[in-house]
């Protein structure tokens, strides 16, 4: 994408020697917006970012993996400021135009000396073709890069929205994804960009769960440099831009869940017929976070009672005798009654798929909602038991 350059190198922050320091650079200050974790325990870069983003401009984002710079007190803030100043000095821009982001182990001091030693190499690596290097540098327990690019057309001109994310564990909708960076060459003001980001997040990163944990570092950034000369200014152009941004965010969010720690299946739960939108969300969220549901899906066991029990404890209005449950198009429960072992065998076959669609109709109203989540396997426990070793 015109106007953006990237770098990703190994600075020795991770023990395994893999890439762990990345940089996004824009030729000119870009319009910017961001969303951050709702966790009350937050990392230093989040504290810093919440203030800086208020200006609505950004020219560089420095990202490290392997160290969260969280629960590091005043020193953590000083280290985050140091890294933003280091980046600004290297690039010859104001520190106010630099955002920093971190992911990794909580509680360890940030090894700023490694940032200082690596900054010349990082700057020299900046190139428009090094996007995958940046994508690699932000990963932790992820097993793959997560990159999505979409294009749209407004008044005969084309614009692009490109997104990259990392996230595999500590995923739930209190921002949700660990780190995500969206870049566009569309021309849009800061207020409009923030409005679109909030809406896109609600349909994507706030509708996913891996393990029900909220990270201390969750951050979602978007930068718009306007180089396409596609102006987002009226209802028609805003609608097109929103559609493309939604597609990028949804696909990234699904990839995060699909790459959930130890996951083998991607599941969408659709709840229909709730009395209120709040109730629809409660039921979806409770089912998506249920360890019993997730382990049953991993075992390909159509233990439908776990789904109904989760709905019943969600705090939403439900009536046992009214609920219908489907796996794909196969009904398993109708009007609160199980359809029997023969039907259950059909569902067991559906559960062998890598992607499963579950529908729960409460039959009480018109509200609906959805979540994407993954199953739980033994590997989730192994990954997290050994995370710091």
Give CA torsion, residues 169, 313, 174, 196, to 10 deg: 120
Which ranges in 290-366 belong to alpha helices (H)?
291-298, 304-312, 341-350
Calculate mean pLDDT across residues 345-370.
Answer: 98
Q: Where in the chain is the domain with CATH 3.60.70.12?
A: 4-258
Distance separating alpha carbons of residues 10 and 19, to the nearest angstrom: 4
Distance separating alpha carbons of residues 288 and 294, to the nearest angstrom: 8
Percentages of the chain per state (helix, strand, coil), in multiples of 5 = 40, 30, 35
Bin 255: left if φ > 0, else alpha if -120 < ψ < 50, else beta: alpha
Query: What's the Cα-to-Cα distance from 55 to each of 30, 51, 109, 285, 331, rounded to whole Å?
Result: 11, 8, 28, 34, 52
Residue 387 above 70 pLDDT?
no
Asked whether 196 and 245 are in contact (CB, 8 A), the reply is yes
Q: Where in the chain is the domain with CATH 3.10.20.340?
A: 266-385
Dihedral of CA 314/316/321/323: which sign? negative
Residue 386 above 90 pLDDT?
no
Q: 311, 329, 310, 327: which is closest to 319 by C-alpha?
A: 311
Q: What is the pLDDT of residues 79-106, one digit of tens each?
A: 999 999 999 999 999 999 999 999 999 9
Q: Is 177 a catalytic residue?
A: yes
Mean pLDDT (the chain, rounded): 95
Right CATH number for 266-385 from 3.40.640.10, 3.10.20.340, 3.40.50.620, 3.40.50.720? Answer: 3.10.20.340
The pLDDT, as a whole number, for residue 38 is 86
The pLDDT, as a whole number, for residue 293 is 97
Residue 369 above 70 pLDDT?
yes
Q: What is the pLDDT of residues 165-202, one digit of tens each?
A: 998 876 776 654 479 999 999 999 999 999 999 999 99
The pLDDT, as a whole number, for residue 389 is 46
Kindly write down the DSSP assignment for every residue of 61-81, as one continuous string. EEEEEEE--BS-HHHHHHHHH
The pLDDT, as a whole number, for residue 250 is 97
Q: What is the pLDDT of residues 261-320, one digit of tens each?
A: 889 999 999 999 999 999 999 999 999 999 999 999 999 999 999 999 999 999 999 999
Kindly write down the DSSP assignment for every residue of 167-205, as one continuous string. -SSS-SSSS-SSEEEEEE--B--HHHHHHHHHHHHHHTG
Domain at 4-258, CATH class: alpha beta
Distance separating alpha carbons of residues 46 and 69, to the nearest angstrom: 10
Query: What's the Cα-to-Cα distance from 298 to each of 135, 340, 351, 384, rounded to whole Å?
Result: 29, 21, 9, 18
From 87, 140, 160, 177, active-site residue: 177
Distance separating alpha carbons of residues 36 and 221, to the nearest angstrom: 9
What letter would DSSP give residue 339? -
The pLDDT, as a whole number, for residue 174 is 65
């Amino acid at each position: 994408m015109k106007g953006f350059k990237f770098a990703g190198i190994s600075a020795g922050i991770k023990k395994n020697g893999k890439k762990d320091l990345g940089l996004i650079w824009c030729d000119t200050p870009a319009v910017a917006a961001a969303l951050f974790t709702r966790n009350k325990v937050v990392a230093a870069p989040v504290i810093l970012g919440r203030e800086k983003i208020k200006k609505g401009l950004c020219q560089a984002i420095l990202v490290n993996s392997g160290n969260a710079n969280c629960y590091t007190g005043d020193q953590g803030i000083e280290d985050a400021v140091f890294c933003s100043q280091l980046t600004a000095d290297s690039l010859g821009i104001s520190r106010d135009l630099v955002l920093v982001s971190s992911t990794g182990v909580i509680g360890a001091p940030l090894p700023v000396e490694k940032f200082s030693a690596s900054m010349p190499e990082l700057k020299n690596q900046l190139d428009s073709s090094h996007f995958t290097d940046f994508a690699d540098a932000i990963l932790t327990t992820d097993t793959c890069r997560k990159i999505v690019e979409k294009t749209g057309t407004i008044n005969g001109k084309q614009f692009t929205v490109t997104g990259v994310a990392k996230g595999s564990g500590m995923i739930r909708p209190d921002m949700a994804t660990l780190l995500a960076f969206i870049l566009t060459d569309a021309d849009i003001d800061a207020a409009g960009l923030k409005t679109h980001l909030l809406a896109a997040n609600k349909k994507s990163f706030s509708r996913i769960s891996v393990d029900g944990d909220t990270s201390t570092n969750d951050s979602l950034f978007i930068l718009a440099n306007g180089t396409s000369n596609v102006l987002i200014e009226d209802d028609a152009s805003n609608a097109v831009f929103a559609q493309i941004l939604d597609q990028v965010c949804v696909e990234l969010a699904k990839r995060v869940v699909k790459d959930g720690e130890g996951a083998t299946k991607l599941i969408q739960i659709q709840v229909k017929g709730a009395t209120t939108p709040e109730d629809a969300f409660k039921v979806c969220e409770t089912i998506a976070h249920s360890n019993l549901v997730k382990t049953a899906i991993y075992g390909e066991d159509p233990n439908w009672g776990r789904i109904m029990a989760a709905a019943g404890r969600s705090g939403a209005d439900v009536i046992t005798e009214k609920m219908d449950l489907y796996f794909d198009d196969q009904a398993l429960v109708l009007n609160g009654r199980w359809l029997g072992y023969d039907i259950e065998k059909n569902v067991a076959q559906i559960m062998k798929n890598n992607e499963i669609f579950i529908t729960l109709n409460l039959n009480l109203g018109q509200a609906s909602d959805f979540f994407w989540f993954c199953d739980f396997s033994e590997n989730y426990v192994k990954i997290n038991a050994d995370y710091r070793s």
